[in-house]
Amino acid sequence: MTSIVIPAHNEGRVIGRLLDALLAEAPADPSARASAAEETDIVVVCNGCTDDTARVAGARGPRVRVVEIPTPSKHTALRVGDEHARGFPRLYVDADVVVGAADVRELAAALAGSPDLLAAAPGREVPLTGCAWPVRAYYRVWQRLPAVREGLFGRGVIAVSEPGHARIAALPPLMADDLAASLAFGPGERRVVESARVVVHPPRTWSDLVKRRIRAATSSAEVEHYQASRPAGGPGAPGVPDGPGGPESLSVPSARTSTADLRALLRTQPRLLPGVVVFVVAALVARRGSRKAIRNRDFSTWLRDESSRQG
């Protein structure tokens, strides 16, 4: 059985579209519907919600199990989801993205078809209609960066096998949980499955984009601090068997963009120069905006953009 864990904090406006996509392919025949329900286990963990997230999720019927906890913590929600999930492969899905049942099956099949594959994520679609032009320019560059194309982060969906789950289960509560999970696997252990797709809704305004980038800069610094504080090559590092204590090291480089990446992009696609300028400006603004949080080791303040959650 494939389990899907969805942590949700005040996502009443958007969680319905995700659940509808996951449930949309239910067959008309009752016996076939029962079989489909047995194949997929959906757990929504409403953490610290003050809106109608639980009601919206519960209204989707018995195939969606809703668990409510008082703590507004994604890390806690993921662990609680693990306690209620029934099987593997296991998918962790952000409530504000959209992925369908067929895409879940593609990810599960990829993990089942290769014993060496421990983690997978779908190809990414970022609809830019309705976004301000600097946001569109930024994402046209961002989506072409090697680390973004090849990493499992920034997709809102990560699927793991049972051994892959053991690799990430003991990671500490990091703000960039998807980045940390991606970095926990070597290139031969993770894969982007392009035949599966996820729709990731971007911020629509420059100010909301800056919020996301400040959060990304802060959380990347936290991951790098964690990397630096752990012994290289220890259990949990890519290609290193897990020990009893779980992962102790993310021993691969950060996913930060280098100037060399941007120069290489411009050499092959010079028309992207305006977008690269916007990208650099956003990076500089985010770096300045994250300094205080990084200096104070404040890795819990979550700057959330609301413009991408407009239904």
What is the structure's pLDDT at 149?
Answer: 93
Nearest to 91 by CA among 113, 119, 58: 119
Asked if residue 33 has pLDDT above 70, the reply is no
What is the structure's pLDDT at 3?
Answer: 97
Strand partners, 36: none
The verdict on 196 and 48 lying in the same domain is: yes
pTM above 0.75, yes or no: yes
The total domain count for the chain is 2
What is the structure's pLDDT at 283?
Answer: 94
Asked if residue 251 has pLDDT above 80, the reply is no
Residue 144 belongs to a domain: no
Between 299 and 263, residue with greater pLDDT: 263
Q: Specify the pairing of strand 64-69 against strand 40-47.
A: parallel
Give residue-wise pLDDT tens across range 123-152.
999 999 999 999 999 999 999 999 999 999
The verdict on 169 and 26 lying in the same domain is: yes
What is the structure's pLDDT at 127?
Answer: 97
The verdict on 237 and 283 lying in the same domain is: yes
The verdict on 54 and 91 lying in the same domain is: yes
The verdict on 166 and 261 lying in the same domain is: no
The verdict on 34 and 179 lying in the same domain is: yes
| Final residue in a domain of this structure, among 203, 234, 266 | 203
Residue 236 belongs to a domain: yes
Give residue-wise pLDDT tens across range 167-198.
998 788 887 788 888 889 999 999 999 999 99
Residue 275 belongs to a domain: yes
Q: What is the mean pLDDT of the chain?
A: 87
Nearest to 149 by CA among 300, 18, 264: 264
The verdict on 58 and 126 lying in the same domain is: yes
Residue 184 belongs to a domain: yes
Residue 237's φ and ψ, nearest 5 degrees, are -70, 155
Asked if residue 42 has pLDDT above 50, the reply is yes
CATH assignment at residue 198: 3.90.550.10
Residue 155 belongs to a domain: yes
Asked if residue 256 has pLDDT above 80, the reply is no
Residue by residue, DSSP assigns 26-86 as: --SSHHHHHHHHHHEEEEEEEES--SSHHHHHHTT-TTEEEEEES---HHHHHHHHHHH--
Residue 239 belongs to a domain: yes
* Most confident residue range from 7-16, 242-251, 284-293: 7-16
The verdict on 113 and 220 lying in the same domain is: no
Count the Cβ atoms, other than its own, within 10 Å of residue 25. Answer: 12
Its domain, for residue 221, covers 213-309
The verdict on 114 and 10 lying in the same domain is: yes
The verdict on 156 and 9 lying in the same domain is: yes
| Final residue in a domain of this structure, among 203, 222, 239 | 203
Give the residue ranges of DSSP H helices in 99-190.
101-112, 133-142, 146-150, 162-168, 177-183
Asked if residue 19 has pLDDT above 70, the reply is yes
The verdict on 264 and 286 lying in the same domain is: yes
Residue 38 belongs to a domain: yes
The sheet with strand 40-47 has its strands ordered as 64-69, 40-47, 2-8, 90-93, 157-160, 119-125, 190-200, 97-99
For residue 253, what are its two tokens? 């480089």
Asked if residue 157 has pLDDT above 60, the reply is yes
Residue corresponding to tokens 């204590």 = 245
Distance of alpha carbon 91 from alpha carbon 38, whole angstroms: 16
Residue 58 belongs to a domain: yes
| Final residue in a domain of this structure, among 185, 203, 221 | 203
Give residue-wise pLDDT tens across range 190-220.
999 999 999 999 999 999 999 999 988 888 8
SS3 category, 108 = helix
Between 218 and 42, residue with greater pLDDT: 42
The verdict on 53 and 80 lying in the same domain is: yes
